[in-house]
């Protein structure tokens, strides 16, 4: 699976990796981003996105500057609002 994320600062992050799922309908995207440069330094990202539903998912991200070891940026739970009246 490939995901492209763009933000208002002009960064574009290309995340690619495998998606695994279980019979309960939960899916996890294990991804690594293509390295990119910020202020002259190479940045690498990797992580997992756990999708419990289209409106509820968890992102765990790790970051590395240059060729340094990855360190955790923590975990973020995202709960999006559905359309009014949607179930």
Three-point CA angle 65, 67, 71, nearest 5°: 55
Q: What's the pLDDT score for residue 87?
A: 61
pLDDT per residue as tens digits for the range 7-52: 888 888 899 999 999 888 899 999 999 998 888 999 999 999 999 8
Q: What is the mean pLDDT of residues 59-68?
A: 95
- Nearest Cα residue to 3 out of 76, 11, 12: 12
| Residue 61 pLDDT grade (very low, low, confident, very high; cuts 50, 70, 90) | very high
34-63: b (≥16 Cβ within 10 Å) or e: eeeeeeeeebbbbbbbebeeeeebebebbe
Q: What's the pLDDT score for residue 86?
A: 63
* pLDDT beyond 70 at 75: yes
Q: What's the pLDDT score for residue 44?
A: 95
């Amino acid at each position: 699976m490939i995901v492209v994320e763009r933000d208002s600062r002009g960064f574009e992050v290309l995340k690619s990796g495998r998606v695994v799922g279980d019979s309960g309908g939960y899916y996890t995207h294990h991804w690594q981003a293509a390295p990119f440069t910020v202020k002259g330094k190479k940045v690498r990202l990797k992580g997992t996105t756990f999708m419990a539903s289209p409106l509820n998912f968890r992102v765990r991200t790790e970051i590395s500057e240059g060729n340094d070891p990855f360190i955790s940026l923590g975990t973020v739970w995202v709960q999006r609002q559905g359309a009014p009246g949607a179930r």
